[in-house]
Amino acid sequence: MEKLNEILHEKKTVKKQYLEERNHLENDFSKVQTAVRTQKQEYDKCLGKLQQDQAKLQDLKGKAKSGGKLDKAKLDHKKSMVKLHIVHNNYVLSLEEVCLHQKEYLNQTLPEFLDSHQATQEALAQQCKDFLQSFYTNTNFCSEDFCDMSKQISNSIEEIVPENHFVQFIDAFKSDPIENVTFEFDDGLISSVTGDLKADTIQLNAETHEALKTRLQSLEEEESTTKQELESKEEALKEVEDAITQLECSPKDKDNNMLLYLQKKRERHKCLLEVTETKAKLEIQSQMIKRIKESLDAAGDDMPKMLDNGDDCDVSLTSDTNQPPNSTIAKAGKPFKSLFNKFKKADGGEKSTHYEPNDVPDANHTNNAHEVNSSDVEAVLEEQEWFHGVLPREEVQRLLSKDGDFLVRESKNKRTSEVQYVLSAFWNGHKHFIIQYGEGGWRFEGDSFPSIPELVTNQYKSGTIVTAKSQCILSNPIIKEQWQLNNDDIALEMKIGNGNFGEVYKGIYKPKNQVVAIKTCRDTLSDDQRKKFLQEGRILKQYDHPNIVQFIGIAAQRQPVMIVMEYVAGGALLSYLRKHGKSQSKKQLTKMCEDAANGMAYLENKNCIHRDLAARNCLVGDNNVVKISDFGMSREEEEYTVSDGLKQIPIKWTAPEALLYGKYTSLCDVWSFGILMWEIFSGGLTPYQGMSNAQARERVDAGYRMPASEGTPNTIYNFFSLTGYRMPASEGTPNAIYNFYSLQDIECQHLREHPIPFKTFPLTGYRMPA
């Protein structure tokens, strides 16, 4: 019965493994196809923007216009052309990648996957046969009346041939062959574009050259990582094959350890599939590198400039052609004077409106800002040091602390979603004034001015009150801080993930030519969601530690709002562990734990509760340095109580007292740190395997603690379960440090030499899971 149960268990395990791996392969292929569709949609979007800018430019030329508006139209048109060329290249390369992926999927990965699963099933069929033979041999004590039946059973067992066992099954139930899908460049995309864009051809010129070189560098780094990954997986495959060969060379050992033999066969299948997948991935990367290199080599060093579709003006992409050099605030508004004769008289436009922080505009009130070309207004305002873009009210109020402080921001009318411009100031509390536009220009309650910068400058220099009701006087403009970046200085290059509030990209911070990671905020989010998005940046910008991801800035001059951070090439720790965890030494894994603890100790000293510490929210940098990331749930308090239940709470990583009472302290992060250590030493497995969140919570409340994962040293398990032998403390050692590093095994020598200052670790009172 024990052997029979083992066989049944193996059958279930193999079936589950088949479904998981098949879904994994199909999802990978689906992602590449989705990327092509996304690139095509982006292409459509860029074409629409180019056509708008082209029409605007031709209209101004037809009216013989000159000056700032024409220069800006030329600049916008040129930017649209550059963006289109870059997106064109991305689309061409994504088509190349999906074709390569399909070829490898159908010719290599999928056949290997099916063949090895069939071999696994045949091995199980052989085991079934051996079991039946054993059963027959040990129960063949029949009387003569049943000898014929016994003989029939024996003959039936002999007829079992595992290699032929599934032939009829496969013939009857196999799925239809997967046919090649044709992925072709949509010629309709470029039918309306004049110039030298060609289907399936990389467009190389001075404007796209740098983006392609960056893409090539990124691919070469990925190729190098994949080669190392392949070597590691081939070595693991060889070890498994050697173990199988050793068992097969000794039939007696094989029979006595049949379960081990079947597990090794299944492990061999998994390793073989991983090797095949990695080879396919490497081949795709190599072909993509080859394609980009051929294009770059063909062009040589002499990069042609992009032709601007008949535009006779050479426009620089880096200079601002809207304004002359050394322009003042007053001069910055002059290009708007020609706009004013286009506006209808606004109902109530001569009346200035003052809103207290929680006021809602009256339904009959109209701001009339929508009648102004908001992009033109933004172009001028973005040059002003006191304009803070779309930074939300809550974030702005943090910058205004004493009477006279003021800045200008962009907002939206909650009822109509129209763009409006707001003067935010501090005068006996926070005040917010919607800047009105009427027939005579922009105003509060006094005179009108042709531009917002002129209005604000006059208000500031004259010292007059903004409104009679508020008595507010502007005396101290709050200029943008170093962390407040310009959106134009950020170049998005490649999507690398998804966040709770938008997408995550790899890109370039142009002023420093620095590779960065960029979190974007969807402009469809509510004010509350945008507030939560920016909270992460506001928290992160205060910290500077080698084990905390480095904050660079927030770009909020316009939508989309972006948080810019250092780009950590190794990616998420969880992915790294699942790929390379088993090949890391115990010392290397221990060093990762130390890095995480050092980062968390720093946060604790800053009174920051992370609340979402897990391998998925850590990054792996150079030399395998671990950095804490993802501060979306963090709070800067010694104790924080949740008010919205357990929504989006990571149950398996959260301390019991937080789940029971909703109260968080740094002690809760310590519990999460114990789970993180278990993830590190388990190679990235999911905690509480086979349990739902509810089951895991119930078991933990009942006293259950996860056992150590395979290969975890006892002292490491004792280390984060706070048990085991403890050496006496040396003279002068603080109790907290002693409780933390007083371990007695060579595996923890590194920790004893570099004690981790996560001081609350031994104070939790919990037995930490391995």
- Going by the annotation, the residues of the binding site for ATP are 496-504, 519
Active site residue 612: yes
> Smallest Cα–Cα separation from 558: which of 736, 723, 380, 705?
380
Cα separation of 405 and 401, whole Å? 7
Question: What gap in Å lies between CA 224 and CA 623, rounded to an integer?
Answer: 15
Could you say which of 76, 308, 405, 612 is catalytic?
A: 612
Q: How far apart are CA 422 and CA 426, in angstroms?
A: 13
Given a contact cutoff of 8 angstroms between Cβ atoms, the answer to whether 122 and 115 are in contact is no
Chain-centroid distance, C-alpha 212: 22
Q: How crowded is residue 502: how many other Cβ atoms within 10 Å of its Cβ? A: 21
How many separate helices (H) and strands (E) can be counted in the chain? Answer: 21, 17
The CA R_g of the chain, rounded to the nearest whole Å, is: 33
Dihedral, 200, 206, 210, 215 alpha carbons, nearest 10:
0
Count CA atoms within 13 Å of residue 674 on its CB side. 32
193's CB contacts (< 8 A; 6+ apart) are 47, 50, 84
Q: Kindly give, in sequence order, each residue whose CB lies less than 8 Å from that of residue 530, ignoring residues fewer than 6 positions away.
A: 392, 501, 521, 561
C-alpha atoms less than 13 angstroms from C-alpha of 11 in its C-beta half-sphere: 12
Using CA of residue 538, residue 539, residue 545, residue 549, what is the dihedral sign?
Answer: negative
- Structural contact between residues 350 and 292, judged by C-beta atoms closer than 8 angstroms: no
Provide the β-strand partners of residue 484.
Answer: 554
Specify the pairing of strand 430-434 against strand 436-438: unpaired
Active-site residue list: 612
